[in-house]
Amino acid sequence: MNLKNKVAIVTGASQGIGLAFCRALIEKGVAVYGLARNPEKLDTASTALGESFHGLPCDVGDVDKVTKTIQDIVAEAGRIDILVNNAGIGFFASIESMSTQDWGRLMSTNVDGVFFCTRVVVPVMKAQNKQDGFGGHIVNISSVAGLIGNPSLSGYNLTKFGLRGFSDALMKELRYDGIKVSGIYPGSVATEFIQGGAEAGEWKVQPDEIADTLIHILEMPDNNLISDVVIRPLRPPRG
């Protein structure tokens, strides 16, 4: 895809990998609509990224808010070429100590949010395919925790294993509609993502490096599909 003048939606856009995605897309000439829960952080992102970034407060776990927000984007921009389902949260907790409230937050953000955003975007991309011969690209940001289990991360593992299956099924469902679906599986990334997790280290993958991979996937020729990419740090601590 030639990214110049394309329109993208990025969830979890106000910090970490999501913010890096927005910056990399804007550098390629994309108009980015960034969704996140925190208006103040979105304002900070807007100041840093400039007029090509449109920050929209939105809890992706709220189906009515998601539906209206994306419908408003389509009304304003006229199309959606890229959806990056990036919003996610995680908790370190043993299964018996995890509260039902935290469990619900995991499912709402990491699973429901992906479904709610995708179900609104897909009809838009199908219509674009009928008109232009290419519908668009959906990229789901999973995790290495969607490939292997981890002690005290069972809830997060569940959401990311589920996202892996969702991405694979969706890829097969939508490919003949001219819609690409890709999954990215980062390992340890230098962000403050998982509450109670280890501090960032120089050995970790940097957010900008994940963003470079996103751009590579999106810029593949329209007839080429990279369905899965796993990104790990080369030299994690031993033990």
* Catalytic residue list: 156
Which residues make Cβ contacts (< 8 Å) with residue 136, sequence separation at least 6? 80, 81, 82, 83, 121, 124, 125, 128, 129, 178, 179, 180
How big is the chain by its Cα radius of gyration, in Å? Answer: 17
Which residues make Cβ contacts (< 8 Å) with residue 187, sequence separation at least 6? 143, 144, 205, 230, 231, 232, 233, 236
Dist. CA 79–CA 121, nearest whole Å: 9
Q: Which residues partner with 184 through β-bridges?
A: 141, 229
C-beta separation of 32 from 53 below 8 A? yes
Backbone torsions φ then ψ of 106, nearest 5 degrees: -60, -50
C-beta separation of 80 from 9 below 8 A? yes
Q: What phi-psi label fits residue 29: left (phi over 0), alpha (psi between -120 and 50 degrees) or beta?
A: left
**3-class secondary structure, 8:** strand
Which structure tokens are listed for 220?
């593949």
C-beta separation of 203 from 233 below 8 A? yes
